[in-house]
Amino acid sequence: MSLRALSGTLCLVFAASVGAQGNGRGAPPRLRGDVPLLLFRAIRAQPTLKYTGTYIVEFRQSSPPVRHQELITRDGSQYRIDFPTDSQFAGQVIVEDSHVRLHYHPIANEIIQQPPRHGESWEKVANLATDPKFHLSTAEGQVVAGLKTEQLVVSDKFGNIIQRLFIEPNSGVILKRQIFDLVGTQAGFFEFTQIDLAPKIDPTAFVIKRKNAAVITPETQLQRVCKRQGFVYRVINPSSGFLLESAIGRKFAGIQGIVETYVNGRIRLWVYILKSPVDPMRLRQQARKSEHFYSWHSGEETIVLIGNLPEKSLENLAGAMSVGTPPPPAKL
Amino acid sequence: MKPVDNEVEDAKLNSAGQMAIRSMIQALPEEPVSMAWRSALNEQLLASAAKQRKKRRLLWFASPAAGLTLVTALAFVVMFQPAKHIAANVSDHGVESAILSDHHSATLTSEVSTAGLNLNEVTNDANESDPVDGVWSESDVESL
């Protein structure tokens, strides 16, 4: 296949795949002209990848770094995640397709129903091929999970490495991904330790059936945490395109707060609510270039929206935030 | 007093030393007080009295005013005590830094996680959840 034909095919695949994420955000962005073939292969393979395997995930942003193992079963856009029997997450099961993510917690006997998440990571990889701010190059890879890989190096315009992807070139599967912080320290990674690229997968693997389990939505989680911490229930209207993914209570410099996370494809939005004043000038001084925010006070609470969105969009989203009672519990 | 004691006292008063002092005092010349001195004394007494009156008048006004001020200040302290949940100085707590730090972590780690657990779930959702109340966060535990 000629390069032109391959590019055309990949454009179609890319357009179809991004469109399939279903966020209704219009035409997909245009592919760059300097995208390495290795990344093309990875993008092309994403919608049809089928494998089972085990990988390690490590987050270094917490202290000490946290590492755990996940057992993955994947068939295209369908995923199932289990955990080893000696894991602190043993018994939890996550299944996900292009519409919903269900996370079963055995002790609470609850199924957390959330927006799908894999689309976000897939779109982030696809974004490498469209966003001109990334400088892409290839390098020799490593043997990962017994398979030889080629390396895609993603840098900024100054040559600072942002991430490294180790891709098995024939299948296009990303076997290892490292993310680096601003000073080049590895902030986190995932790496396959074992993978089967031709597995037999039982279709029922992607179904969670538990008759007496309660189905909990992120809105219910938010209601719980608001009740426990004495906060007003505030949520961004889903008609904005941003879906609530999670809500947790957290302390910020000793002050109680709530963090709400929203997703809209690969765009994430964080809402911080604190029972304390927050100085917008200080936020502006300390925020990074890509971090935009909009904040306001309501009663004794300060609400801060942070995301990689123009401040005007954040202001509009603030207008889409409603105060009141959550919807009734979901049913599967 | 017993009669014996009286006799002793009389004897002391009529002693030679006492008699000598008595005669010396009687021999002192009698000095008449001048009118000028009396006048000066009167003026001093009048001035002193005027000052006393002024001071008393001032106190008459100042005491209730001071009392009222004290009561008002106490009332302010009791009535308008700052709420406990608001930090005395937010900037000192670095709440803005804490928010941005959390956001940086969340942004970076969201790049790493795929379909699996994210950092919040890894740090909060271990199988230590309360079976009745569901998933607990770290701050929930702290608030117990």
Tens of pLDDT along A220-275?
Answer: 999 999 999 999 999 999 999 999 999 999 999 999 999 999 988 778 899 999 99
Q: Same structural domain for residues A78 and A168?
A: yes
Contact A92 B125 (CB under 8 A): yes
User: Is the Cβ of B142 closer than 8 Å to some Cβ of chain A?
Assistant: yes
- Exposed, middle or buried: residue A197 (CB in 10 Å: 0-12, 13-18, 19+)? middle
**What average pLDDT does this structure show over B123-128?**
58
**Does residue A239 lie in a domain region?**
yes
Distance to chain B for A282, nearest Cα, Å = 7
Contact A253 B98 (CB under 8 A): yes
**What average pLDDT does this structure show over A10-15?**
44
Q: Same structural domain for residues A248 and A141?
A: no
User: Is the Cβ of A256 closer than 8 Å to some Cβ of chain B?
Assistant: yes
Mark A135-173 as b/e (b = at least 16 C-beta within 10 Å): bbebeebeebbebebbbbbbbeeeeebbbbbbbbbebbb
- Exposed, middle or buried: residue A57 (CB in 10 Å: 0-12, 13-18, 19+)? buried
User: Is the Cβ of A189 closer than 8 Å to some Cβ of chain B?
Assistant: yes
Option in B117, B120, B126 nearest A248 (CB): B120
Q: Same structural domain for residues A29 and A164?
A: yes
Mark A88-126 as b/e (b = at least 16 C-beta within 10 Å): ebeebbbbbbeeebbbbbbebebbbbbbbbbbbbbbbbb
pLDDT > 70? residue B3: no
Q: Are B91 and A279 in contact (CB under 8 A)?
A: yes
**What average pLDDT does this structure show over B85-114?**
71
Mutate to test the interface with B, among A228, A229, A294 (most CBs of B within 10 A): A228
pLDDT > 60? residue B86: no
Q: Same structural domain for residues A145 and A249?
A: no
User: Is the Cβ of B34 closer than 8 Å to some Cβ of chain A?
Assistant: no
Residue of A nearest to B112 (CA): A189
**What average pLDDT does this structure show over B105-134?**
67
Q: Confidence class of residue B44 from pLDDT cuts 50, 70 and 90? A: confident
Contact A108 B135 (CB under 8 A): yes
**What average pLDDT does this structure show over A267-291?**
90
Option in B114, B120, B142 nearest A246 (CB): B120
User: Is the Cβ of A320 closer than 8 Å to some Cβ of chain B?
Assistant: no
Option in A61, A124, A181 nearest B119 (CB): A61
pLDDT > 50? residue B136: no
Q: Are A292 and A306 in contact (CB under 8 A)?
A: yes
Cα-Cα-Cα-Cα dihedral sign, residues A20, A125, A157, A12: negative
Q: Same structural domain for residues A187 and A241?
A: no
Contact B119 A66 (CB under 8 A): yes
Q: Which domain holds residue A7?
A: 3-196
**H or E segment at A45?**
helix A37-45
φ and ψ at residue A93, rounded to 5 degrees: -135, 135
Rounded CA-CA distance B111/B109 in Å is 5
CATH number assigned to the domain comprising residue A43: 2.50.20.10
Q: Same structural domain for residues A7 and A124?
A: yes
User: Is the Cβ of B134 closer than 8 Å to some Cβ of chain A?
Assistant: yes
Q: Confidence class of residue B23 from pLDDT cuts 50, 70 and 90? A: confident
pLDDT > 60? residue B133: no
Strands across the sheet with A214-216, in order?
A135-144, A147-155, A161-167, A174-180, A186-196, A50-59, A66-75, A78-82, A93-96, A101-105, A110-114, A214-216
Contact A179 B112 (CB under 8 A): yes
Name the CA radius of gyration of chain A, rounded.
21
**Does residue A332 lie in a domain region?**
no
Number of H helices, E strands in chain B: 7, 0
The residue behind tokens 């008063």 is B13
CATH number assigned to the domain comprising residue A266: 3.30.200.100
**What average pLDDT does this structure show over A297-301?**
91
pLDDT > 70? residue A163: yes
Mean pLDDT of chain A: 86
The residue behind tokens 């302290």 is B77
Range with lowest mean pLDDT among A69-83, B23-37, B47-61: B23-37
Contact B139 A306 (CB under 8 A): no
**Does residue A206 lie in a domain region?**
no
**Does residue A99 lie in a domain region?**
yes
Contact A229 B127 (CB under 8 A): no
Rounded CA-CA distance A102/A79 in Å is 10
Higher pLDDT, B41 or A250: A250
Most confident range, picked from A116-120, A161-165, B108-112:
A161-165
Q: Confidence class of residue A62 from pLDDT cuts 50, 70 and 90? A: low
Range with lowest mean pLDDT among A5-19, A95-109, A263-277: A5-19
pLDDT > 90? residue A218: yes
Q: Are A181 and B109 in contact (CB under 8 A)?
A: no
In the stretch 39-98 of chain A, residues with CB closer than 8 A to chain B read 57-59, 61-62, 66, 68, 70, 72, 74, 79, 81, 88-92, 94, 96
Q: Same structural domain for residues A41 and A136?
A: yes
Q: Same structural domain for residues A76 and A152?
A: yes
Q: Which residues of A touch B104 (CB under 8 A)?
A: 61, 288
**Does residue A92 lie in a domain region?**
yes
Distance to chain B for A190, nearest Cα, Å = 7
**What average pLDDT does this structure show over B1-19?**
72
The residue behind tokens 């657990």 is B117
Rounded CA-CA distance A212/A216 in Å is 13
Q: Same structural domain for residues A84 and A153?
A: yes
**Does residue A203 lie in a domain region?**
no
Q: Are B127 and B121 in contact (CB under 8 A)?
A: no
Full 3-state SS string of B27-80: HCCCCCCCHHHHHHHHHHHHHHHHHHHHHHHHHHHHHHHHHHHHHHHHHHHHHC
**Does residue A277 lie in a domain region?**
yes
**Does residue A146 lie in a domain region?**
yes
Report the domain count for chain A: 2
User: Is the Cβ of A272 closer than 8 Å to some Cβ of chain B?
Assistant: yes
Q: Same structural domain for residues A165 and A248?
A: no
Q: Are A167 and A173 in contact (CB under 8 A)?
A: yes
- What DSSP line would sit under A85-115, residue for residue? TTSTTTT-EEEE-SS-EEEEETTTTEEEEE-
Distance to chain A for B79, nearest Cα, Å = 19
pLDDT at A125: 81
Contact A283 B96 (CB under 8 A): yes
Q: Same structural domain for residues A64 and A102?
A: yes
Q: Confidence class of residue B85 from pLDDT cuts 50, 70 and 90? A: very low
pLDDT at A85: 95
Q: Same structural domain for residues A122 and A192?
A: yes
Mutate to test the interface with B, among A259, A271, A291, A308 (most CBs of B within 10 A): A259
pLDDT at A30: 65
Q: Confidence class of residue B80 from pLDDT cuts 50, 70 and 90? A: low
Name the CA radius of gyration of chain B, rounded.
46
pLDDT at A9: 45
Contact A59 B122 (CB under 8 A): yes
φ and ψ at residue A43, rounded to 5 degrees: -65, -45
User: Is the Cβ of A315 closer than 8 Å to some Cβ of chain B?
Assistant: no
